[in-house]
Each structure stands twice: as structure tokens, then as C-alpha cells.
């Protein structure tokens, strides 16, 4: 399936982002900054708990469907096909569809660097909906520049000032940003 071990070592060391960071990049860069700096209010937030519950009930009840952790990425579950692996993410709703797309694009890009071909599926069980996605050159170009920008945010000491968005009230950092 593709690249050599030497390629892996060289390429993979440049990929520090976690999938959730790619997701937050699209949702809110303040949130991304806070998360990266371990200002962790997320764990006990209701929306986060709901997501975990959904996940456990619908997708992790059989041995086939286990979270797969590969270095810095954690894929919700995978199905192994003949020529590629199918990687799955499970989301509560499709309200943040672009963020969800790029999270799974990042996983496919990461796996490609490991020499593994993959295709992505985003599952929205509450809406009985699935979206399939394949890595292409356009996505590779975009994810490369997003990764670069995320690393700039990681290396910065300056908090990104919060700006109000329609979903701020559901965010675990709301009090932090606006009280």
C-alpha cells in the first residue's frame, strides 16, 4: 500500500494536529486556541457527554466497532476493504458539516502519509444520514494550508479574541469567553 517507512518517519513528524483541532479550526479559532492550551472545559459539558453517549450506544457495542488510535489521530471506527480502509466518524448533527469534512480529510491525508489508502464516511445517526468522501488534490492543498495555520496558532502566545457566533451559547467555553 504505497510509501516506505522512511517516508513515514519524515512526513509524519510534521503532522502534529489532532483531528479535533482540525474540527475546531472551522468552528472557532478561539476554541482551538483554548483547547490547545489545555484550558479544558469540554469534558463535563452536556453536549460533549451527549456525543459520547451516542457514540457508545450506537457504534461501540460490538467488537468490530472500536475507536482506532493511530499516533495522534483517533478514528471512530474502521472497516477494512480489499484495497483500502473505510474510516468512519460519528457526529451528533450535520450543523458543522464543513468542520466534519475536514476532520476526516485530515485523517485520510494522515493515513496517506503512512502509505494507507482510505475513504471516509461521516455518520449522522440522529438524522439517519451518511456522507462519503474521498481524498483528492484539492483537499490535499487545502488541508496542507490548514495544518500550517494550526501550527502557527499552536506556537502563538496570543489568545484569539472571541467573537460571538450563533452557536456560542452551546459551547463549553461560553462563560470563559463572555462572562
Nearer to ligand SF4, 64 or 164 (CB): 164
Exactly one of 76, 91, 102, 162 binds ligand SF4 (CB under 6 A); that residue is 162
Cell of 96: 458543522
User: Which range touches ligand SF4 (CB under 6 A), out of 63-71, 93-101, 132-140, 161-169?
Assistant: 161-169
Name the nearest CA neighbour of 78 among 88, 93, 69: 88
Nearer to ligand SF4, 31 or 88 (CB): 31
Nearer to ligand SF4, 83 or 169 (CB): 169
Residue 105: CB minimum distance to ligand SF4, A: 22
Residue 168: CB minimum distance to ligand SF4, A: 3
Q: What are the residues whose beta carbons fall under 8 Å from the beta carbon of 33, sequence distance 6 or more?
A: 153, 156, 159, 160
Residue 146: CB minimum distance to ligand SF4, A: 17
- For ligand SF4 (CB under 6 A), the number of binding residues is 10
Nearer to ligand SF4, 27 or 74 (CB): 27
15-34 residues near ligand SF4, rule: CB under 6 A? 28, 30-31
User: Which range touches ligand SF4 (CB under 6 A), out of 9-17, 85-93, 144-152, 170-178?
Assistant: 170-178
Task: Please give the full DSSP string across the chain, using - where no structure is assigned.
Answer: ----HHHHHHHHTT----HHHHHHHHH-HHHHHHHHTT----TT-HHHHHHHHHHHHHHSSSTT---EEETTEEESEEEE-SSSEEEEEE-S-GGGHHHHHHHHHHHHHHHHHTT--EEEEEEEGGGTEEEEE---HHHHHHHHHHHHHHHHHHT--SPPPP---TTGGGSTTHHHHH-
Q: Is 153 in the site for ligand SF4 (CB under 6 A)?
A: no
Please report, as ranges, the residues that interact with ligand SF4 according to CB under 6 A: 28, 30-31, 162, 165, 168, 171, 173-174, 177
Amino acid at each position: 500500500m504505497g510509501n516506505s517507512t522512511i517516508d513515514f518517519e519524515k512526513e509524519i513528524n510534521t503532522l502534529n494536529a489532532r483531528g479535533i483541532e482540525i474540527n475546531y479550526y472551522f468552528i472557532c479559532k478561539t476554541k482551538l486556541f483554548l483547547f490547545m492550551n489545555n484550558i479544558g472545559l469540554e469534558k463535563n459539558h452536556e453536549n460533549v457527554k451527549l456525543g459520547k453517549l451516542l457514540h457508545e450506544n450506537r457504534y461501540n457495542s460490538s467488537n468490530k466497532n472500536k475507536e482506532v488510535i493511530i499516533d495522534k489521530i483517533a478514528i471512530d471506527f474502521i472497516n477494512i476493504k480489499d484495497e483500502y480502509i473505510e474510516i468512519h466518524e460519528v457526529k451528533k448533527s450535520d450543523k458543522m458539516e464543513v468542520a466534519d469534512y475536514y476532520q476526516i480529510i485530515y485523517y485520510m491525508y494522515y493515513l496517506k502519509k503512512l502509505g494507507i489508502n482510505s475513504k471516509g464516511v461521516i455518520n449522522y445517526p440522529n438524522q439517519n444520514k451518511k456522507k462519503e468522501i474521498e481524498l483528492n488534490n484539492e483537499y490535499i492543498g487545502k488541508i496542507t494550508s490548514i495544518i500550517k495555520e494550526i501550527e502557527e496558532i499552536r506556537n502563538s502566545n496570543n489568545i484569539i479574541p472571541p467573537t460571538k457566533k450563533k452557536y456560542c451559547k452551546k459551547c463549553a467555553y461560553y462563560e470563559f469567553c463572555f462572562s
